[in-house]
Structure 1
Amino acid sequence: MKNRLPRRLFMLGGIAASLSGCASKFHSYNGPEVTRVRLYKSQRLLALDGAEGVLRTYPVGLGFAPTGHKQFEGDGRTPEGSYVVDKRNPDSLFHLSVGISYPNETDIALAEAQGKSPGGDIFIHGGPRRGIDPMNKRDWTAGCISVTDRQIEEVYAMVQNGTPINIYA
């Protein structure tokens, strides 16, 4: 009987090499620091800025009712104003997600004056885990900012907690 060990090692090596090429959702980033994030809602454009200028831009989807500033939970709007990146979720239902500090004190006061909740849990995130490409439907979230899964992997690696985010109409 022939020795099958060399054949098995060759096959296992090939499998390992092909698996090593599979993309991980956790990218590393060693470039310039992202000093600010800007979102232009009307242009559906997210920009990551560094000290020397724009580092990356991405097309985005918004909440299902994108016009105007988010006021209440369930209104389908994406907030406008100045916030910071305040959390990260590697186990997000939407591939990966980077949290935004909405609602701030002003948002809370405006909603409470109307007897409503301002909502919360506003994120920049990828697509649903169902495998649906978020760009197939432009504005589909409940108020979040959506990018493709590959793009959120870059954003997740590049943007750190505490980074300011300015959201413009």
Structure 2
Amino acid sequence: MFRYTIMFLILLSLGLQANFSSYADKVIIKKSTRMLYLSSGGHIFKRFHVSLGTIPVGAKEVEGDLKTPEGKYILDWRQTSKKYNKSIHISYPNKKDEAHAKQLGASAGGMIMIHGTPSSWGLSPIGDWMPMLTDWTEGCIAMSNDDLEEVWNQTTKGTPIIIIP
């Protein structure tokens, strides 16, 4: 019996270690449900509520349209920010986005980020989750600072991100 207990504890610790050290190999944003999913090996292992651009329906077409892009991109760099705590850059626009904006006679824009909420919002007695009840960004994807910390820790430069309607 003792041997089985030891074997069980070893197997349990291996499973927990694998879980804590896992990274997402893909990030999926589903705009219609305002959810961000972390996926590894084709399995979703974390989900988070997000807010989008103030005009959430439809793909971003041009700079200033207040829409969140749709398509396949890469998380290509990250930074700490006084305004939004931390932020992870999305490689928008891609060549298709640029060509479409050019056809419309405009710039596609850029600087689309996954970011937290302003530090001052965390001083509210209700915390920084309240902004997640509405879409308020200029096209970025916003989430609570605690949730962003998890995404920050479980993604790396080069992680693919897919944003779907």
The question of a shared fold, defined as TM-score above 0.5 by the shorter chain, is answered with: yes
Give the residue type in structure 1 aligned to 2:81: D
Higher helix content, 1 or 2: 2
- What RMSD over aligned residues (CA atoms) do the two structures have, in Å? 1.6
Larger radius of gyration: 1
TM-score using structure 2 length: 0.80
Residue aligning to 1:46? 36
Aligned 1:1-169 pairs, distance under 5 A: 30-51=20-41, 53-91=43-81, 93-131=83-121, 133=128, 135-136=130-131, 137-169=133-165
Structure 1 118/92 Cα, relative in aligned 2: closer, same or farther at 3 Å? farther
Is the Cα–Cα contact under 8 Å of residues 49 and 56 in structure 1 kept in the other structure? yes
Counterpart residue number, 1:11: none
The worse-fitting range, judged by mean Cα deviation, of 73-82 and 131-140 is 131-140
Task: Mark the runs of 5 or more structure 2 residues left unpaired by the alignment.
Answer: 1-18, 123-127
Number of aligned residue pairs: 141
Once the two structures are superposed, what CA deviation does each residue of 1:49-77 show, in whole Å capped at 9, x if it has no partner?
01261121001100000000001111010
Sequence identity (%): 40
Which digits, 9 at most, give the CA deviation of each residue in 1:69-127, with x for residues without a partner? 00111101000010010110123521111110000011111111211111110111100
For residue 33 of structure 1, report the CA deviation from its aligned partner.
2.1
SS at structure 1 position matched to 2:24: coil
Query: Structure 1: where are the runs of 5+ without partners?
Result: 1-28
Q: Give the structure-1-normalised TM-score.
A: 0.78
